[in-house]
Structure 1
Amino acid sequence: MGFALLALICAVALLGPLLALPDRLRLPVVIGELAVGLILGQSGFRIADPTEPTFAFLGQIGFALVMVVAGSHVPIRDPALRSGMRTGLLRAAVVGAASVPLGFGIAQLFGTDHGWLYAVLLASSSASLVLPALAGVRTDVPVLEQLLPQLAVADAVCIVLLPLAIEPKNALGAGLGALVVIAAALVAAWVARLLVTRGFEARIRAVSREHSLAIELRFWLVVVFAVAAIATALHVSVMLAGFACGIALAAAGEPERLGKQLFAITEGLFAPIFFVWLGASIDLRHLVTHPQAILLGVVLGLGALLVHCIPVLLRQPWPAAIVTAAQLGVPIAAVSMGETLGILASGEGAAILLGAMITIGATTLASRRLRAVAEAQAPVG
């Protein structure tokens, strides 16, 4: 991979933000970046080779950082998360329980042995998609107090379970490796909180701001890459390493300045590289030769919407139920891991992403109605 290809990726990746600008579309930026990868990679002109070591490694760095940002979006310090915890946990458990038989049913229908993988995909949610869509809405209203814990639990649990579900035969080894990775992230969170309580963090931040040193960013990059190194050595996906570090960062309390720096380095460079690399890894030609993959994607997308609407029977407003079906991080991680491990059938990766796109389209529409419900519940004054 040379500078010419890197410049090309960064230039055409601008398509992602451009698609996100129109109010009528409001497509997630990653859609455009994935489209760029499809055009440049195996599905299109084959300019970008996803197997090229440098390109693949930069993609993995982007993968880890994308998951850090996703984890940091989980609102674990939001008081509303505690207020509706009981109801949110119940709804997440109901969705998870319903996803297992449906996931295995879909696997049986399409002749695959990926029942657990489909179950995790169906049950997953994406806080990194939903929260920006609800930006500016008060969280201390009943509908969101119950929604936030449901999102947080589904997001975190499904990301932890994905490595086990994608390789059930190696579940024990993957589970032990995942515990080590999570423990390493917890140590990082403890160190960060210790720095805050002892007053060191404020002094470090002051020096960093005065001399433009970005010390906090450097610290957390060391943490992320160290935990990712542990994950790689234990044959655990960097997805879990990044997400665990993001949760640790959220638990420690992410300073606004650090959040902006982390967002800039991720969304400005490494995230586009990752999504272009992922798109380049997928060959949509398989959808032509394997049309049942299209049907699989539609079934996965509609199945996710179906299981997430079950809590409507538990008095959850339907816009909130549909919004919880939003999928992004888990399907992308599943495709990335599946393509790397070579365990996905032809067209299956594209089918998984198609299912995710269906949920994104539905939740984009439902989020507007959910904003109206939340605003109606907000106390006057």
Structure 2
Amino acid sequence: MTGFGLDTLALLAVIGLAGPALAAIPRLRLPVVVGELVAGIVVGRTGFGIVDATNPTFQLLASIGFALVMFVVGTHVPVRDTTLRGALGKAALRAIAVGAAAAVLGVMIASAFGTGHALLYAVLLASSSAALALPVIDSLGLTGPPVLAVTAQIAIADAASIVLLPLVIDPGRAPRAALGALVIAGAAAVLFIVLRHIERSGTRKRLHHYSEVHRLALELRGSLVLLFCLAALAIATHVSIMLAGFALGLVISAIGEPRRLARQLFGITEGFFSPLFFVWLGASLQVRELADHPEFIGLGVALGVGAILAHTVGRLFGQPLTLCVLAAAQLGVPVAAATLGTEQGLLAPGEPSALILGALIAIAATSAAGAVAKRRQAGAAPAT
């Protein structure tokens, strides 16, 4: 791919359909993003080289997709759910215990493979994915106090891991990254105050009504303006746009995301930018490096199994094993780590692919654990 025109966009849109196509196979039950990543690997650096992940236009569109994906992840964190507040204490305690276990395992894995990335691995092992796990919980109809508690735990781990990732992936730049993160947090706090005032004064509802009557999509336009401004601020302060997207998502979730905006964001993100981002990520990975450095296959397996082991610490607090494994669901943080590591050359050849492999192992375990939890819940339900 030498240029980037409408024909390339059409090709990428077709390639992105591999995600829904593989997800539609009942026996596989693959998350859509897995198919998109695999398709990107096939047509990118590892495969036939049909698309060029280094093309500036492709990279720009992928960056927009990355910001939108993290924005949606932030909106999935149940900030306003009052039923979670009673579970926050125990959930935070479990998250801290998982983090401690992850730190030990991270040191062991980094030492075993000689990468020197113990802090990065610890964050990866402790991370969860609200965007992945919460839809699984909803789709399976899992309910009850233990499920409520694990939902709170996932939200805490997801938020903490995304904030910590830029600080640990490149420890030498941690002070600058911390300062940039504080700037983004401050900007997000200001946005929260302003948007909450707009919501409480009724201005947002009036704009919503006007936009709906005239079909202007003002809420979506406003959200994109804020997202791009926050992303530009992130770049100016030398932090990842990942934080910008996630912070704005938390703000919208805390205020209350209008259903119409949720549908619009779903359409623009899942319909185009998210598939494009994951295809780009797959295309940018050089999976063949795993063959040249087979030890990184072992690293990927160790990260996937390690994430599951770290989260089984929840058993010490009476958490069902299936929910422990469900809490190990990870996607956003490993993807962000692979993206940052690839863009900034922070990881060794083959290491980004190993991070994705570890995430895929955790996703497979999560899917199986969810199915088992559903069967157990159905078996425990009283007969009618």
Fold conserved (TM > 0.5)? yes
Give the structure 1 partner of residue 44 of structure 2.
41
For the Cα contact (< 8 Å) 1:80–1:144, is it kept in 2?
no
The correspondence for 2:29, drawn from 26, 29, 32, is 26
Whether the 8 Å CA contact 1:141–1:374 is kept in 2: the answer is no
Partner of 2:107: 104
* Residue of 188, 195, 200 corresponding to 1:192: 195
CA distance in structure 2 between the partners assigned to 1:293 and 1:10 by the alignment:
31
3-state DSSP of counterpart to 1:134: helix
- Give CA-to-partner distance per residue, 1:257-280, whole Å, 9 cap, x none: 100000110111111111111111
Unaligned runs of 5+ in 2: none
Residues 376 and 205 of structure 1, relative CA distance in 2, 3 Å threshold: farther
Does the 8 A contact of 2:311 with 2:325 survive in 1?
A: yes
Separation in structure 1 between the aligned mates of residue 345 and residue 315 of structure 2, nearest angstrom: 38
Quote the Cα distance in structure 2 between the aligned partners of 1:153 and 1:379: 33
> Partner amino acid for 1:141?
G
Distance (whole Å) between structure 2 residues aligned to residue 52 and residue 135 of structure 1: 38
CA distance in 2, matches of 1:226, 1:380: 55
Q: Is residue 307 from structure 1 mapped to residue 310 from structure 2 by the alignment?
A: yes
1:245 maps onto 2:253 in alignment: no
Aligned position for 1:78: 81
| 1:185–1:245 CA contact under 8 A, matched in 2 | yes
Q: 1:93 aligns with which of 90, 96, 102?
A: 96
What per-residue deviation string (whole Å, max 9, x for no partner) do you get for residues 183-232 of structure 1? 21222222221111001111111111111110111111111100000000
- Name the counterpart of 1:222: 225
Letter in 2 for 1:49: D
Counterpart position of 1:59: 62
The 1-side partners of 2:122 and 2:382 are apart by 39
| Corresponding residue of 2:328 | 325
Q: Give the letter for the 1:97 counterpart.
A: A
Change (3 A) 1:313 1:192: same
Q: Secondary structure at the match of 2:120?
A: helix
| 8 Å CA contact retained: 2:102, 2:123 | yes
Letter in 2 for 1:74: V
C-alpha change, 1:195 and 1:120, in structure 2 (3 Å) is: same
Which of 120, 127, 132 is the matching residue for 2:135? Answer: 132
Q: Name which of structure 1's ranges 78-87 and 66-75 shifts more when overlaid on structure 2.
A: 78-87
Corresponding residue number in structure 2 for 1:153: 156
The Cα shift of 1:376 comes to: 7.0
1:378 CA drift (Å): 8.0
Q: 1:255 to 1:134 in 2, by over 3 A?
A: same
Instruction: Give the share of equivalent positions with the same residue, in percent.
Output: 51
Asked whether the 8 Å contact 2:326–2:366 carries over to 1, the reply is yes
Describe the shift of the 1:290–1:209 C-alpha distance in structure 2 as closer, same or farther (beyond 3 A). same
**2:185 equivalent to 1:164:** no
Aligned residue in 1 for 2:279: 276
Deviations 1:59-101 (A, max 9, x none): 0000000000111011111123212111111100000111112
Distance 1:212 1:379 in 2: 48
Instruction: Give the TM-score, by structure 2 length.
Output: 0.96
More moved, 364-373 vs 176-185:
364-373
Letter in 2 for 1:275: F
Q: Determine the C-alpha separation between the residues in 2 that align with 1:199 and 1:71.
A: 24
Amino acid at match of 2:78: P
Structure 2 residue 369 is matched with structure 1 residue 369: no
Moved more, 174-183 or 370-379: 370-379
CA–CA separation in structure 1 for the residues paired with 2:146 and 2:89: 13
Distance 1:77 1:138 in 2: 20
4+ runs of 1 displaced by more than 4 Å?
136-140, 372-381
Q: Determine helix, strand or coil for the equivalent of 1:236.
A: coil
| TM-score after normalising by structure 1 | 0.97
C-alpha distance in 1 between matches for 2:142 and 2:229? 34
Q: How many residues align?
A: 381
User: 1:243/1:374 Cα in 2 relative to 1: closer, same or farther (>3 Å)?
Assistant: farther
AA matched with 2:155:
A
Counterpart of 2:236? 233
Task: Give the aligned partner of residue 14 of structure 2.
Answer: 11
Provide the alpha-carbon RMSD of the alignment. 1.7
Please say if 1:263 is aligned against 2:274. no
- The corresponding residue for 2:214 is 211
Change (3 A) 1:181 1:378: farther
